[in-house]
Amino acid sequence: MKALILIDDGFEELSVYVPWMRLREEGLDVTLATPLMHALTGQHGYRIEPDHPLRDVPPDDYDLLLIPDGRATEALRLRNEAVDLARTFMESGRWVAAIGHGPQVLMSAGAIDGRTVTCSPGIRDDVRNAGAEYRDESTILDGNLLTARGADDLPEFCRRLVALLRSPSAYGVRVG
């Protein structure tokens, strides 16, 4: 299985590193993709080297799209290639996971209307205005979409994500 993580400058470090390492522990091939290929700096000053530019990412090669928390989501949602990628994953029924502010990219893709999600409380009104039902819970699974409020919910988020990836057919989600 292969996972794709969308990142840009201003990413929230825990919401990238924790799931990235957990997915690698499970044997997934994890790719970090960004609009521009340069070392990225997180909100707390940690730097990371991306693997591929977004424009070169073939979405059909991946089973999971992860959108981490942080200011980076505001920049990503303004990039057509990031929004198109999110829309493609949602429409194809493959796994999409978003943490904290991550649903902002999905809002710009028009992909959360009619969905039930959780997110950072700071964007809950935006989520509602995009047509989703907001719930203040640590994680929410709605079809192929798993959302989490933020870094404090990463242990449950990762447990749930790994369980879903181990048994995707139990949830009616297409993989591969």
Query: pLDDT tens, 32-76?
Result: 999 988 999 999 999 999 999 999 999 999 999 999 999 999 999
10 burial (CB, 10 Å; 0-12 / 13-18 / 19+) is middle
- pLDDT score, position 175: 46
59, 52 Cβ separation under 8 angstroms: no
CB 19 within 8 A of CB 158: yes
Let me know if 101 is a catalytic residue: yes
The CA distance from 98 to 76, in Å, is 13
Prediction pTM value: 0.94
Q: What is the pLDDT of residues 79-120, one digit of tens each?
A: 999 999 999 999 999 999 999 999 999 999 999 999 999 999
Task: Using alpha carbons, select from 12, 34, 46, 31 the residue that is nearest to residue 153.
Answer: 12
- Domains, in order of start, for the chain: 2-165 (3.40.50.880)
Q: Give me the count of residues in the chain.
A: 176
**Confidence at residue 169, expressed as pLDDT on a 0 to 100 scale:** 61
Out of 38, 44, 52, 101, which one is annotated catalytic? 101
pLDDT digits (tens, 9 = 90+) for 29-38: 999 999 988 9
The pLDDT tens digits for 140-159 are 999 999 999 999 999 999 99
Q: Which whole number is the average pLDDT over 121-133?
A: 97
